[in-house]
Amino acid sequence: MPNLSNPLQNIPPLCRGDRSLLRRWLDQPITECLSFCIPAILLGCGCYGFTMGLWQGWEMASYVGIKFPLVIFATLLVNGAINGMLAMVLGSGIGFRQSIQFLLAGFSLMSIILLSISPITFFVALHAPDPSDAGAQQWHRVTLLTHTLLIAYAGIVSHRSLLVHVRNFATTPRHGSQTFFTWLAGNLFVGAQISWIMRPFFGTPGLDVQFFRNHPMAGNFYETVWNAVTSLLSY
């Protein structure tokens, strides 16, 4: 049985998808869950974000280390109400508080996976060429792809584990799956836009290192994708 008095002991059962851990979190006051999940997300995403920005220097690394956990929390905050409502409307038997706990548990697992890879990405970042070097553009593309793959891997693993929990907890597995995929769609949709607002994360060579771009709220992620697609087709 996981010991809630020592947060570190929650890591292996969370990784293994131990159902009793999540059941205990749901039964205990929400502070039990928050006291583990929030530090885990801060530490995991913070450290990983730091290594993402490190190739552009310590300033960028610090910015991304702060912004990456913020993206997670902002997404949960913006979607918190609708996630809880959808869970109820879809007949899953999951309430507001439980929906937050489920999602926090999922993002904690993702953060722990990213934290465990951070020493490697830190080492890789230390070997990046200087952003003003000739090979910086190529490195930028490689690092963009690598980090996207690693974050996607951590996200898929954690959400797959979360899906099992939600299906077990919901009134029926079908309702659990519906709820889960609704949350996933909403979080992806909002998360992409929040990431867009909080850009840059990797830092394009040649552009200034900034916490936010000059007009962060001008335009949105989907407009940019649409413009890119149309310009590609017209070309």
Partner 1 sequence: MTDEQAPKLPEPQQNTPPMPPYQPSPQATDPDYQSMKETGFSHILNDLLKKPLSVIYEVKHGNHSPLSALLIVTLASLAIFGIVLGMFSSGEQLWAAPVKIIGGVLFSGLICFPSLYIFGSLGGMDAKIQHVMGIMLTFLAITSLLLVGFAPVIWLFSTSSNSLVFFGILCLTIWIICLTFGLRIILRASKIMGGRRGGHLNIWAVIFIMVTVQMTTTLRPIIGKSDSFLNLEEKRFFIRYWFEVMESESQSGSPRAINADTGNNEPKRPRNKK
- 194/198 Cα distance (integer angstroms): 6
Residue 79 or 158 having the CB closest to partner 1: 158
Q: Does 94 bind partner 1 (CB under 8 A)?
A: yes
Query: Which own/partner pairs from 98-101 qualify as long-range (CB within 8 Å, at least 24 positions apart)?
Result: 98/26, 98/169, 99/183, 100/30, 100/76, 101/22, 101/25, 101/26, 101/30, 101/33, 101/37
Draw the binding track, 152-171, toward partner 1 (x: CB under 8 A; -: no contact): -x---x-----------x-x
Figure out which of the listed residues 40, 113, 151, 194 binds partner 1, where binding follows CB under 8 A. 113
Segment lying near partner 1 (by CB under 8 A), choices 66-74, 127-135, 181-189, 195-203: 127-135
Q: Please report how many Cα atoms fall inside a 13 Å half-sphere around the Cα of residue 61, on the Cβ side.
A: 14
User: Alpha-carbon torsion 10, 14, 20, 21, what sign?
Assistant: positive
Segment lying near partner 1 (by CB under 8 A), choices 60-68, 129-137, 178-186, 213-221: 129-137
Figure out which of the listed residues 135, 206, 216, 219 binds partner 1, where binding follows CB under 8 A. 135
Min. distance of Cβ 184 from partner 1 in angstroms?
Answer: 19
Residue 56 or 92 having the CB closest to partner 1: 92
Residue 196 or 202 having the CB closest to partner 1: 202
Helix (H) or strand (E) holding 162: helix 136-169
Residue 3 or 227 having the CB closest to partner 1: 3
- 140/128 Cα distance (integer angstroms): 9
- 168/156 Cα distance (integer angstroms): 18
Residues near partner 1 (CB under 8 A):
1-2, 11-13, 15-21, 23, 88-89, 91-95, 112-113, 115-120, 122-124, 126-130, 135, 138-139, 142, 153, 157, 169, 171
